[in-house]
């Protein structure tokens, strides 16, 4: 799978060993179009209400499998390969100034893709759950109200933006890990950056990270500082929970307090012994918090 031949970015690569991982995932691949962009979704099925899952900046859908499969008794998880990741198309939009700012990887484009998934799969009042970048996307979708939702759960959304502290992880760190994946990496090397992660999640990252579009990562990272989360958060409607890692540098205690003040109707919950990657850092506690949030929302429907 490659980018447009007009792009100078490195070719995206989905390894055969990565594709083979899907044989162990209890989900069916679905495909949706958002304009000209083809989006891949892992559908875990079931009779429960739909839960659209939006992963983070360098997390293809399969990397959220360990979360999704723990929710199937409550909901029907549908995990999206956000554009430029996994099996979904990258953006074909060309930057106006010859750089790579935007390039179809802004919050508006991501929100439109999510709305297209909801409409294209015929989902009725789904719940939304997003982590990091995905949480910012969920906030925009919930604030725009272009589709009817049953509620939303935002896990550690980057609260950086104009006039705020920068996003705590530098772009160079993301691109350095991507370069490792592009030349070939393994779980041991991934573990040097993410030592707390379960081994299977280190292995999946080693095989799937090269499926991410370098322009998507760069543009999204810039968006963390140019697109203000708090421009959308107070307008979020419906039942809403914000989860954050008690040790997160992305959502600090001060950020959580600001979120409470800006949207008093939201439930704001800290996940203990976890940083920004709360589901990877402390899976039992993070899953318990997510399941509790989903149960509260389902009880209101």
| pLDDT single digits (tens) 17-61 | 999 999 999 999 999 999 999 999 999 999 999 999 999 999 999
- What is the structure's pLDDT at 99? 38
Q: CB–CB of 65/79 below 8 Å?
A: yes
The average pLDDT across 140-156 equals 97
pLDDT for res 95: 45
Residue of 203, 135, 217, 211 lying closest to 175 (CA atoms):
217
Distances (CA, A) of 75 to 49, 260, 296: 5, 27, 13
* Predicted pLDDT at 100: 41
Give the separation between CA 128 and CA 134, rounded to whole angstroms. Answer: 10
Please, which pLDDT band fits residue 281 given cuts at 50, 70 and 90? very high
Neighbours of 94 (CB within 10 A): 13
Beta-bridge mates of residue 33 = 38
CA distance 46 to 50: 9
Q: Is the pLDDT of residue 9 over 70?
A: no
Q: Which CATH number fits domain 16-299: 3.40.50.880, 1.10.3720.10, 3.90.650.10, 3.40.50.1820?
A: 3.40.50.1820
Q: What is the reported pLDDT for 68?
A: 98
Q: Is the pLDDT of residue 3 over 70?
A: no
In 78-157, which residue ranges form alpha helices assigned H by DSSP? 107-120, 133-144
- Say yes or no to pLDDT of 137 above 90: yes
Dist. CA 107–CA 140, nearest whole Å = 7
The reported pTM is 0.94
Q: How far apart are CA 292 and CA 154, in angstroms?
A: 13
Residue 301 pLDDT grade (very low, low, confident, very high; cuts 50, 70, 90):
confident
Task: Give residue 93's pLDDT.
Answer: 61
Give the number of other CB atoms < 10 A from CB of residue 183: 8
209-239 pLDDT, tens digit each: 999 999 999 999 999 999 999 999 999 999 9
Percent of the chain exceeding pLDDT 70 equals: 93
Domain regions of the chain by residue span: 16-299
Q: In whole numbers, what is the pLDDT of the chain averaged over residues?
A: 93
Please state, in angstroms and as integers, the Cα–Cα distance from residue 284 to each residue in 4, 158, 272, following that order. Answer: 41, 23, 10
Judged against a pLDDT cut of 80, whether residue 63 lies above it is answered with: yes
The answer on pLDDT for 284 being more than 60 is yes
pLDDT higher than threshold 60 for residue 271: yes
Per-residue pLDDT tens over the stretch 94-133: 444 433 445 689 999 999 999 999 999 999 999 999 999 9
Predicted confidence at residue 12, as pLDDT, reads: 87
Confidence of residue 1 (pLDDT cuts 50, 70, 90): very low
Q: What is the 8-class DSSP label of residue 129?
A: E
pLDDT of 132 = 98
How high is the pLDDT of residue 101? Answer: 46
What is the predicted pLDDT for the residue at 300? 86
- Average pLDDT of the residues in 146-175: 95
Q: Six-digit token pair at 215?
A: 């322009």
């Amino acid at each position: 799978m490659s980018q447009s031949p007009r792009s100078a970015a490195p070719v995206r690569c989905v390894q055969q060993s990565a594709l083979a991982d899907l044989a162990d995932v209890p989900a069916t691949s679905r495909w949706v179009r958002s304009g000209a962009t083809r989006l891949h979704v892992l559908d875990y099925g079931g009779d429960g209400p739909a839960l659209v899952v939006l992963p983070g900046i360098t997390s293809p859908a399969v990397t959220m499998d360990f979360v999704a499969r723990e929710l199937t008794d409550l909901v029907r998880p549908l995990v999206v390969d956000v554009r430029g990741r996994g099996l979904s198309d990258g953006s074909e939009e060309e930057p106006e100034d010859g750089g790579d700012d935007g390039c179809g990887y802004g919050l508006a484009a991501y929100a439109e893709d999510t709305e297209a998934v909801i409409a294209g799969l015929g989902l009725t009042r789904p719940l939304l759950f997003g982590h990091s970048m995905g949480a910012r996307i969920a906030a925009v979708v919930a604030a725009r109200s272009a589709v009817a939702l049953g509620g939303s759960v935002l896990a550690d959304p980057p609260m950086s933006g104009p006039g705020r502290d920068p996003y705590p992880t530098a772009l160079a760190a993301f691109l350095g890990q991507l370069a490792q994946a592009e030349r070939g990496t393994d779980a041991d090397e991934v573990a040097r950056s993410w030592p707390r992660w379960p081994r299977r999640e280190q292995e999946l990252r080693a095989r799937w990270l090269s499926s991410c579009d370098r322009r998507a990562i760069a543009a999204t990272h810039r968006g963390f500082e140019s697109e203000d989360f708090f421009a959308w958060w107070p307008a979020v409607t419906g039942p809403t929970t914000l989860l954050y890692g008690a040790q997160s540098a992305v959502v600090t205690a001060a950020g959580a307090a600001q979120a409470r003040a800006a949207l008093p109707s939201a439930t704001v919950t800290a996940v203990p012994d976890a940083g920004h990657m709360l589901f990877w850092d402390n899976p039992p506690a993070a899953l318990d918090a997510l399941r509790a949030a989903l149960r509260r929302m389902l009880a209101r429907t």
